[in-house]
Amino acid sequence: MPIAERGYIHWDGELLERRRPWLPITRQGIRLAFKRKYFKFSFFVSLVPAFGFLVGIYAAEKIQDFKLKIEGVSTILQVNPGFFRAYFAGDFLLFMMLMLMVLSGAGLIADELRHNALQLYFARPLTKKDYFMGKAAILVFFLSLVTVVPGLVFIICKLIFSGSFRFLADYPWIGLSVIGFSALVTAFFSFYTLMISSVSKNRRYTAILLFAIYIFSDVLFGIFYASFRNPYFALLSIKANLQQVGAAFFNVKAPYAVSWIYSLAVLLTLCAVSAFILHKRVKGVEVIK
């Protein structure tokens, strides 16, 4: 048997039948997430606001039947863009989305760094892009179930309960707003979660970091805003930025007197920084000197 020439043989062929190589990563991640007790509980709790708002839509149509004479209640239960903004950019939903990310996302990359499993992925015909897409799709799946899906269900139920298309005639852009804001908040949380998950091999540490950075940004904003009364400090808070952009998407008055464009820029910058950090941290081989 001839002795082979020493050297690397580079394969120049074309990969055939590349059918969504990221999909098995996503399927497995979703399956594993649902195996966790805390996650299942948190997931169903995060759907509670959706049910609440759905009941609100129903109640808004049936308000005369309930003979509610309490002053102002008819305006509270008005199903308008403000109603949608209240759901999408509400504190509780954003908090529950964060909890879902902590439970399903903190270990997505951290666990693989710990077990040195990245080599197993990149020893296959899988690019880094496929890997990130697979991981991100897990988070997108769960986030979509609490954002775009309930949002579209709200619109459909509003149309059904009201028995007319007047709502769509009044707000023809509402569907796009739901999809657009859901996409933004989903993309942001996905980038944020994956980036934090990639900074350490310790899942406990990444879970705390995910939570702490989000809360800290809001506390920081609260401290400076209370001290200096400058609305631009809202740009320090992840929650405030999401709420600013949410208000813009649903064409309602923003909570703080700062342009939503700046908030959007902050969120997009964070996404870009996250992507950069992910690119640096996720490698097939780690060289330790």
Partner 1 sequence: MKTIREIFAFFAFYGRKTRRTQAFFLISLFPVAIAAVFRFHQAMGGDGSFDGMYLFTNVIMTFFLQFLILVLTLFFGTSVTSEEVEGRTLTYLVTRPVPKSSILLGKYAAYTLIVTVLVWIGLVACFLILNFERLGSADAWTVLFRYLGVLTLGILAYGGFFTFLGTFLKKSIMVGLLFSFGWENVIQYFPGSTQRFAIVHYLKSLLPRVMTSRGRFSFLTFRLEPTSGPVSILTLILITAGFLVLAALLFHHKEYIYED
CA triple 226-229-235, angle to 5 deg: 90
Alpha-carbon gap, residue 265 to 267, rounded angstroms: 5
**Does residue 102 belong to the site contacting partner 1 (CB under 8 A)?**
yes
Do residues 49 and 96 lie in contact, with contact meaning Cβ atoms separated by under 8 Å? yes
Q: What's phi and psi for 166, nearest 5 deg?
A: -60, -35
- Give residue for tokens 């590349």: 18
53 or 233, CB closer to partner 1? 233
Going along the chain, which residue ranges are E strands?
none
3 or 226, CB closer to partner 1? 226
The set of residues, in sequence order, having a beta carbon less than 8 Å from that of 122 and lying 6+ positions away, is 128, 131, 284
Segment interacting with partner 1 (CB under 8 A) among 83-91, 164-172, 219-227, 240-248: 219-227
Do residues 157 and 58 lie in contact, with contact meaning Cβ atoms separated by under 8 Å? yes
**Does residue 240 belong to the site contacting partner 1 (CB under 8 A)?**
no
141 or 205, CB closer to partner 1? 205
42 or 80, CB closer to partner 1? 42
Dihedral class, residue 281 (left if φ above 0, else alpha if ψ from -120 to 50, else beta): alpha
- Supply the minimum distance, in Å, between the C-beta of residue 223 and partner 1: 6
**Does residue 231 belong to the site contacting partner 1 (CB under 8 A)?**
no
Segment interacting with partner 1 (CB under 8 A) among 2-10, 13-21, 138-146, 195-203: 195-203
- Supply the minimum distance, in Å, between the C-beta of residue 161 and partner 1: 34
**Does residue 232 belong to the site contacting partner 1 (CB under 8 A)?**
no
Question: Could you list the residues that contact partner 1 (CB under 8 A)?
Answer: 36, 38, 102-103, 200, 202-205, 207-208, 211-212, 215-216, 219-220, 222-224, 226-228
